[in-house]
Structure 1
Amino acid sequence: MKEISCKLLVIGAGPGGYICAIRAGQLGIDTVIVEAKKPGGTCLNVGCIPSKALIHAADEFEMMARSAARESPLGISVGRPELDFAKTIAWKNRMVGRLTGGVSGLLKKARVKMVAGWARFRDGKTVEVETETGLQVIRAEQIVIATGSESVELPSLPFGGPVISSTEALSLAQVPGRLVVVGGGYIGLELGTAFAKLGAAVTVIEAEARILPQYDAELTRPVAKRLDEIGIEVLTGCRAKGLKGDVLTIEMADGRQETRTADRILVTVGRRPVTDGWGLDAIDLDMNGRFIRIDDRCRTSMRGVYAIGDVTGEPMLAHRAMAQGEMVAEIVAGQNRVWDRICIPAVCFTDPEIVAVGLSPGEAKASGIDIKTGLFPFQANGRAMTLGREAGFVRVVARADNHLLLGIQAVGAGISELSAGFALALEMRARLEDIAGTIHAHPTQSEGLLEAAFGALGHPLHI
């Protein structure tokens, strides 16, 4: 097979990789992208997008079920809803297909050449790709590694049979009657909540003292309350020890052992970078633990080789990878770019949702910063009340001396849609007075940010 030569080779067509390739193509760079599976990576195919589709379907089903049980506070009642889960999954798959097709179209529009197969480094300028038609050799002036991450497997619960990762959970043929979720982080709680609303009996096992340990306790409290309301059993300070048949043994916080029966066991204890199988040993990159070490321009220790996204470390978020990919493409094109982002929003699509941008009060205090905080509950927000979604709040964190915003956190229904505004405020170096001086439309949930700023300034208006 004839060798391919190009200026830029991108390995991996996940969010970071395909954005990098598209932007490079727009800038006139001769670009090739290699992907072993479908374009879009984990996020688009078996992660962010399909999980949010399942969450939406579960929310709709639960709303109808409440109405059938005459539990709707709006006085709406309907007949008992029925779930055709095969249709739900088919709808999810059509959506994913549209989006992966869209990515392929955008790559083609940017004149990026796509090569389907598994890439392996020969040296810092050459890779070989195992394709369906044989071995393809690609030589490139610059290479971007965007190989992403994969689910972590527990030695006591290897994947297979009833033990599944989030990938298999999003393609189940039917809702499991009894589901045990091992790991109380955002992936486990998002999917566990969705399946509980669809009718599964769900138990969550978390090794830490509380769920969502990456967020502060004040943010996670409304989520914990909602889990209890929908009947999810949450066991904290516990560990899954092993499975025999359909019986899972659990070591409790006090050392006792209990068991739970389960049709499926969803293991969501984290993700790890995909660094094996690419021949990285052939180029001997500096590593940071299991991650590839990069600088503030995403350059690795080898000249001409960049790395972006999950393979480079935390936070392992699609939007971080996208921003890195866009930056690297412009650097390759000769532009002077550097990673100088103040914050990267973190969103948890639980019920209610959580958004965290910048520093929490605890993180700011740990850094020795004297702070002011303001918190506004959605129980006092007119729009939240009219939507019947009063759980949660918006909280601002600012320096005490000059009122510079350091962080914004919120928990509430649909609050993810405010994450961009929160991030923009921090990136623009806004102060409490800037937020307080901006007219926020009424009635909207975004007024929570305004009211939180008023509170931090010492003159709350609606509480």
Structure 2
Amino acid sequence: MVVGDFALELDTVVIGAGPGGYVAAIRASQMGQKVAIIEREYIGGVCLNVGCIPSKALISAGHKYQDALDSDIFGVTAENVTLDFAKTQDWKDNTVVAKLTGGVKGLLKKNKVEIIEGEAFFNDEHTLRVIHEDGAQTYTFNNAIVATGSRPIEIKGFKFGGRIIDSTGGLNLTEVPKKLVIVGGGVIGAELGGAYANLGAEVIILEGSPQILPTFEKDMVRLVETSFKKKGIKVVTNAMAKEAVDNGEGVTVTYEANGKEEKIDADYVMVTVGRRPNTDDLGLEVAGIEMNDRGYVIVDEQGRTNIKSIFAIGDIVPGAALAHKASYEAKIAAEAISGKPVAVDYIGMPAVAFTDPELATVGYTEKEAKEAGLDVKAVKFPLAGNGRALSLNQTEGFVRLVTTKNDNVLVGAQVAGVSASDVIAELGLAIESGMNAEDIALTIHSHPSLAEAAMDAAELALGLPIHA
């Protein structure tokens, strides 16, 4: 890289190489733009390096361990089952994560995206400066897409360090803790709590709201709560975490619930109460970009900020902090720069919790649909009636469809159970395409498959159930 006070010219520049940034860079290049991407830490962002992907690797390892310990119902018995957690972590880091991040680098190069290592700071609406190991370089640009993601929120009394960790620290422990306290029972806390319980830890989850996984419907969450009880996970709701004291050998967590103060001694406490947008230290205010009082960038339906040449996507704009949301917005922004008449439409945006069992939702819930003024009905098909679920010995859960009463158009769906994260895709496609229950029911599904439950739910919505 050339270093100096003169400015180098860029066409489209993307700041951040996570699932929003790298997708934006590749799509912009595919649209004929000359693209550079700036990354200060690691290609692939939080999701690939210390988030979505490594957490699912640990979840999978926990399932394998539990299967080895207890598969007696299948007539399979194993003796002297052990867990080499160092090997688990090595597989996660050096096989799963390394392969994916290396693949992203390859994709960027294949699409002729210039990779610039360093930290970007806006000087104005068409100029930025990149600080790197060898100094700094100023660039001018025609268009910019900001995709800098988010970071864990640190709460009072729980300063990160030592045995007080965030989700990144939780993914990189060198041993399975004997006892782990998790502050925050949302998706991240519930997923990692289940994973470490499966790996042999005693887990306590402190959640401030009346239920864990508060963004999912109660009948879905009850399935996870039942599973947690079987795993020995203790869940304390309506709990206020007050302080954590790290004594070097362990940590003492103080919390209040039901008007009573309690203390827990554990090996680690992991705080997963939410994430904060990485919009500070970027110079966004210098460029004149408008943000709300929570630090999120205000954008239009194409991801464009109030500055015509600058777009923002992913965790730094309002909405759910989801990797696939960032990737979706990335394509919209990149195509908008090329002049395509595109706009975001979030109705088909799924949300998934990789808990035991998995939970997935897309479109409206029944309550949300009615609040939106739609006349709808909801039907629920139990996985206990699905042959594939029975053969997997995982019959807990259901597929629920929310359809309009007059013409059975699908406007929402929820799946709770094994492989819900995969089954939800068909239902998201149906919502995105404006399909009705008959379209799903007439689609021939392979047998036996978990996806058949979607067909059975559609037949139930039509009043013509075969297996219910």
CA apart distance, 1:98: 1.2
Query: TM-score scaled by structure 1?
Result: 0.97
Deviation at 1:198, TM superposition (A): 0.7
Q: Which residue of 1 aligns with 2:266?
A: 262
Letter in 2 for 1:25: S
CA deviation profile, 1:309-351 (whole Å, cap 9, x unmatched): 1100211111111111112222222322222343201011001
Give a deviation string over 1:373-409, Cα, whole Å, max 9, x none.
1111111111100111101000000111221111010
User: Does structure 2 conserve the Cα–Cα contact (< 8 Å) formed by 1:16 and 1:321?
Assistant: yes
The match for 2:202 is: 201
Aligned to 1:92: 92
Match of 2:244 in 1: 243
Q: Structure 1 residue 123 and structure 2 residue 124: aligned?
A: yes
The aligned counterpart of 2:335 is 330
Task: Please tell me whether the aligned partners of residues 254 and 261 of structure 2 are also in contact (alpha carbons under 8 angstroms).
Answer: yes
For 2:266 and 2:119, the matched residues in 1 are separated by 36
Question: Structure 2: which amino acid aligns with 1:358?
Answer: G
CA distance in 2, matches of 1:365, 1:28: 44
- Identity across the alignment (%): 43
Residue 137 of structure 1 aligns to a residue whose secondary structure is: strand
After superposition, where does 1:54-453 map in structure 2 within 5 Å? Answer: 54-67=58-71, 72-94=72-94, 95-244=96-245, 245=247, 246-252=251-257, 254-289=258-293, 290-453=295-458
Which residue does 1:29 correspond to in 2?
33
For the Cα contact (< 8 Å) 1:7–1:140, is it kept in 2?
yes
Describe the superposition over 1:176-232 as per-residue Cα deviations: whole angstroms up to 9, x where unpaired: 111001111010010011001111110011111111111110111111100001110
Contact map agreement 1:374 1:454 (CA 8 A) in 2: no
SS of the residue corresponding to residue 301 of structure 1 reads: coil
For the residues of structure 1 that align with 2:255 and 2:78, how far apart are their CA atoms? 40
Name segments (4+ residues, structure 1) moved above 4 Å.
none
Residue 42 (1) aligns with residue 46 (2): yes
Instruction: Please state whether the residue corresponding to 2:348 is helix, strand or coil.
Output: coil
- Are the counterparts in 2 of residues 341 and 427 from structure 1 also a CA contact under 8 Å? no
Q: Deviations over 1:62-109 (max 9, x none)?
A: 111114xxxx21111011211111111110111211111111111111
* Cα distance in 2 between the residues matched to 1:373 and 1:27: 42
CA–CA separation in structure 2 for the residues paired with 1:211 and 1:459: 36
Q: Which amino acid aligns with 2:61?
A: A
In structure 2, stretches of 5+ residues that fail to align are none
Does structure 1 conserve the Cα–Cα contact (< 8 Å) formed by 2:347 and 2:362? Answer: no
The CA distance in 1 between the partners of 2:161 and 2:319, in whole Å, is 28
Q: Which amino acid aligns with 2:274?
A: G
2-structure distance, mates of 1:333, 1:315:
26
- For residues 83 and 155 of structure 1, what CA distance do their matches in structure 2 show? 35
Amino acid in structure 2 at the alignment position of 1:162: R
- Structure 1 regions of 5+ residues with no counterpart? none
In structure 1, how many angstroms separate the alpha carbons of the residues matched to 2:89 and 2:21?
27
Instruction: Measure how far apart 1:261 and its partner are.
Output: 0.9
Count the aligned residue pairs. Answer: 458
Check whether the contact 1:188–1:268 (CA below 8 A) recurs between aligned residues: yes
CA distance in 2, matches of 1:139, 1:419: 43
Moved more, 181-190 or 26-35: 26-35
Give the alignment's TM-score, normalised by structure 2.
0.96
Q: Report the AA paired with residue 250 of structure 1.
A: Y
How far the C-alpha of 1:27 sits from its partner, in A, is: 2.5
What SS is found at the alignment partner of 2:264?
A: strand
* 2:20 matched residue in structure 1: 16
Residues 13-48 of structure 1 show CA distances to partners (whole Å, capped at 9, x for unaligned) of 111110111112222311111000111000000000
Distance (Å, rounded) in 2 between the aligned partners of 1:273 and 1:247: 29
Question: What is the CA deviation profile of residues 416-457 of structure 1, one whole-angstrom value per residue up to 9, with x for unaligned ones?
Answer: 112221110001101111112222221111111111112222
**AA of the residue aligned to 1:431:** N
Residues 1:7 and 2:8 aligned together: no
SS at match of 1:281: coil
